[in-house]
Amino acid sequence: MSKKKYYRFPIALASIVAISGSLLAGCGGQKTEDHPTKNEQKAVTHDTTAATTTEKEQKVDAGGYIEDQKLPKKATYIQGILVASKQYPLPADFAPGENVEAREAFEELNAAALLDGFKFNAFSTYRSYDRQVELYDAYVKRDGKKAADTYSARPGYSEHQTGLAFDIGEVGSEEDFADNKFGDTEAGKWIAKNAHNYGFIMRYPEGKEDKTGYMHESWHFRYVGKKIATEIYEKNETLEEYLGISK
């Protein structure tokens, strides 16, 4: 995650993120549309610690995070989908890199976009836990913790750590990277309408902030596979709504 239109992402930092995003190797969450591979099931299985606590028993802080929650030893899969959110953190050492299948899907999406006159750049994909520490701390220092929690995930809670989240912008319009102006462009409208055909969902859609826990981000897409992405898109749901979980 990065910023919302109310918190301008510095151009210099955006450039750095763009470069680092292109250099970093992504993540290995899901290797099929619906389920993790057998190897992933062995290495990363569903952690039931959070699931055994009811919402009434959970106390959340001002940022929407469960109070005193410690990072788990294993990541959480729900209905075969790797989840990273304010309620479902990842282990600090979870470092799969950029997901190969997600990258292939993005290249397929980009090839289709070129036929319609658009070219996209996935300027930030996989981020390590340590990288998220740097980013989140910088945002807190700049905007304060309350504001930062609305647009940036705390370390261990970022979807980018899964390697399945792709921040996408139009090549040639780098000034709109990590800015909601992107959603108002023809390129932004194209990807919002077509991303599900290639397995991606807009992870933080407008008007769903109470479901996701984050501000709208027109550039942040999450790979879940074509079947699930299409179901979520057609139902106009968020991942939380689709899985029946809280933010």
Calpha distance 55→43 (Å, rounded): 28
Annotated active-site residue in 40, 101, 159, 217: 217
Work out the angle at residue 5's Cα, subtended by the Cα atoms of residues 158 and 108, and round it to the nearest 5 degrees.
Answer: 60
Q: What CA–CA distance (Å, rounded) separates 187 from 183?
A: 8
* Per-residue H/E/C for 149-175: HHHCCCCCCCHHHHCCEEEEEECCCHH
**E-state strands within 89-238:** 120-124, 165-170, 200-204, 217-223
Indicate the SS3 state at residue 220. strand
Of 182, 141, 1, 156, nearest to 65 by C-alpha is 156
The yes-or-no answer on residue 217 being catalytic is yes
List, by residue number, the catalytic residues: 217
